Amino acid sequence: MATKTYREALNEALREEMYRDPNVFIIGQDVGKFEGAYRVTQGLLAEFGPKRVKDAPISEMAIAGAGIGAAMAGLRPVVEFMTINFTLVAIDQIVNNAAKIRYMFGGQVSVPMVIRTPGGGGQQLTAQHSQNLENWYANTPGLKVVAPVTPADAKGLLKAAIRDPDPVFFLENLALYNTRGEVPDEEYEISIGTADIKREGTDISLIAHSRMVNVALQAAQRLQDEEGVSAEVVDIRSLRPLDTETIVNSVKKTNHAVTVEEGWTTFGVGGEMAALLADQAFDYLDAPVKRVGGEEVPMPYSKPLERAVIPSVDKVVSAAMEVLA
Active site residues: 60, 129
CB of 134 to ligand TPP, least distance (A): 18
CB of 300 to other proteins, least distance (A): 4
The CA angle 292-298-301, to the nearest 5 degrees, is 105
Residue among 301, 316, 320, 192 at smallest CA distance from 255: 320
Q: Which of 124, 139, 244, 280 binds other proteins (CB under 8 A)?
A: 124
CB of 28 to other proteins, least distance (A): 10
The answer to whether 168 touches 192, Cβ cutoff 8 Å, is: yes
SS3 182: strand
CA dist 258 and 255 (Å) reads 11
**Residues 199-218 vs other proteins: string with x where CB under 8 A?**
--------------------
The answer to whether 297 touches 261, Cβ cutoff 8 Å, is: no
Strand partners, 119: 173
CA 276 to mean position of chain CA atoms = 19
Cis ω for the linkage preceding 77 (within 30 of 0) = no
Does 95 bind other proteins (CB under 8 A)? Our answer is: no
Please report the beta strands in 204-298, taking only residues with DSSP state E, as ranges in sequence order: 204-208, 231-235, 238-240, 257-264, 290-294
Does 275 bind other proteins (CB under 8 A)? Our answer is: no
Q: Which of 21, 165, 305, 322 binds other proteins (CB under 8 A)?
A: 305
The answer to whether 289 touches 191, Cβ cutoff 8 Å, is: no
Instruction: Decide whether 106 or 303 has the Cβ nearer to other proteins.
Output: 303
Does 49 bind other proteins (CB under 8 A)? Our answer is: no
Q: Which of 125, 197, 287, 321 binds other proteins (CB under 8 A)?
A: 125
SS3 130: coil
Instruction: Decide whether 16 or 295 has the Cβ nearer to other proteins.
Output: 295
Range in contact with other proteins (rule: CB under 8 A) among 10-18, 32-40, 107-115, 133-141: 32-40
Instruction: Decide whether 58 or 104 has the Cβ nearer to other proteins.
Output: 58
262 binds, among ligand TPP, other proteins, none (CB under 5 to 8 A by kind): none
Residue among 288, 135, 318, 113 at smallest CA distance from 209: 135
Q: Which of 51, 186, 303, 325 binds other proteins (CB under 8 A)?
A: 303
CB of 90 to other proteins, least distance (A): 10
CA dist 168 and 158 (Å) reads 9
* Residue 11 DSSP symbol: H
222 binds, among ligand TPP, other proteins, none (CB under 5 to 8 A by kind): none
Does 295 bind other proteins (CB under 8 A)? Our answer is: yes
CB of 81 to ligand TPP, least distance (A): 8
> Site residues (CB under 6 A) for ligand TPP?
29, 58, 60, 82, 86, 89
**Cβ neighbours, 10 Å, residue 28:** 26
Residues in the site for other proteins, rule: CB under 8 A?
29-30, 33-34, 37, 55-62, 85-86, 89, 123-129, 295-298, 300-306, 308-309
